[in-house]
């Protein structure tokens, strides 16, 4: 093996060893990596709306939707940060170079590929039991990753419209969107409904719930007046069909069962969850 590569490999092995020691410092307060847990949750959306456009149009809505999920989660290794990535302070700490490592790099550069020089450097590292210091980054977060989820979705929505477009063109309509659908288990390539981040340093936990993809449900519309009649078709329906990037919480304490409510346009989104081991 090229002696330059040998010397660099020695350095990297030392770095990896130092990193492993740093991560193990929180093993006593974290779940064992690979530990399984089951999260069952129910997310409920209830909204109402009333829209008036001058004297010509009035519409209303009443949305009631429920998403239920059951996910198997697996505990990951403890790291300094969670799914959102490192803070600016942590990035600065990670980019701070160890002085001993900087000295080694300078000595390596001075060798200019000379095999005898590199061999002497490798022997020096071995004799000094060289181990570069790992970056001192505050934080200890354990993420629980979903391995597989399944669930169900149901909706019971009602909509009305009163449109006044002049003689012969005005109409009223009542629509309902109803039904339910199962969400089959799809492994890591399917719907992954929840991630959990346990901040060991702060003694708090955040929960990230992801909506299932929309499912086709029946929409029935009964219309009177202009173009009167009844239509029935399938439309894609999801819980909110919006993206909520911010996690739920933080909730004080370790991973645990709970419930939280958030405001959404015209109503609320409530999530209740239960943790099982």
What pLDDT does residue 131 have?
Answer: 62
Q: Quick one: pLDDT band at residue 250, thresholds 50, 70, 90?
A: very high
What pLDDT does residue 120 have?
Answer: 78
Single out the residue of 155, 160, 145 nearest to residue 39, CA to CA. Answer: 145
Whole-number Å distance between alpha carbons of 276 and 274:
7
What pLDDT does residue 112 have?
Answer: 83
Residue range 23-70, pLDDT digits in tens: 444 433 799 999 999 999 999 999 999 999 877 899 999 999 999 999
Give the rounded percent of residues in the chain with a pLDDT score beyond 90. Answer: 60
Region 123-140: mean pLDDT is: 68
Per DSSP, the residues of 23-73 read: HGGGGGGSPPTT-EEEEEEEEEEEEEEEEEETTTEEEEEEEEEEEEEEEEE
What pLDDT does residue 10 have?
Answer: 39
Residue range 171-223, pLDDT digits in tens: 999 999 999 999 999 999 999 999 999 999 899 999 999 999 999 999 999 99
What pLDDT does residue 196 have?
Answer: 96
More confident residue, 152 or 244: 152
What pLDDT does residue 116 have?
Answer: 80
The structural domains of the chain, with segments of one domain joined by +, span: 1-30+99-132, 32-84+139-276
- In this predicted structure, the answer to whether residue 269 has a pLDDT above a threshold of 50 is yes
Output the average pLDDT for the chain: 84
Q: Any idea which residue has 């490999």 for tokens?
A: 9
Give the pTM. Answer: 0.75
């Amino acid at each position: 093996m090229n002696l330059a590569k040998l010397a660099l490999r020695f350095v990297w092995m030392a770095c990896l060893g130092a990193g492993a020691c740093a991560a193990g410092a929180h093993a006593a307060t974290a779940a064992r990596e690979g530990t399984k847990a089951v999260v069952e949750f129910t997310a409920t959306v209830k909204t109402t709306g009333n829209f008036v456009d001058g004297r010509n149009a009035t519409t209303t809505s009443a949305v009631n939707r429920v998403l239920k999920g059951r996910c198997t989660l697996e505990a990951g290794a403890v790291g300094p940060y969670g799914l959102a990535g490192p803070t600016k302070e942590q990035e600065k700490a990670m980019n701070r170079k160890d002085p001993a490592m900087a000295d080694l790099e300078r000595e390596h550069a001075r060798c200019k590929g000379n095999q005898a020089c590199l061999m002497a450097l490798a022997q020096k590292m071995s004799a000094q039991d060289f181990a570069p210091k790992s970056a001192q980054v505050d934080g200890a977060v354990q993420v629980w990753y979903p391995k597989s989820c399944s669930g169900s979705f149901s909706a019971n929505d009602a909509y009305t419209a009163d449109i006044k477009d002049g003689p012969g063109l005005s109409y009223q309509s009542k629509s309902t969107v109803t039904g339910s659908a199962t969400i089959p288990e799809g492994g890591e390539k399917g719907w992954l409904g929840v991630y959990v981040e346990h901040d060991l340093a702060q003694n708090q936990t955040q929960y990230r719930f992801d909506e299932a993809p929309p499912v086709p449900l029946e929409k029935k519309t009964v219309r009177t007046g202009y173009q009167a009649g009844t239509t029935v078709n399938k439309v894609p329906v999801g819980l909110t069909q919006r993206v909520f990037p911010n996690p739920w919480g933080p909730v004080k304490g370790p991973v645990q069962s709970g419930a939280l409510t958030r405001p959404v346009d015209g109503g609320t989104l409530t999530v209740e969850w239960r943790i099982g081991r």
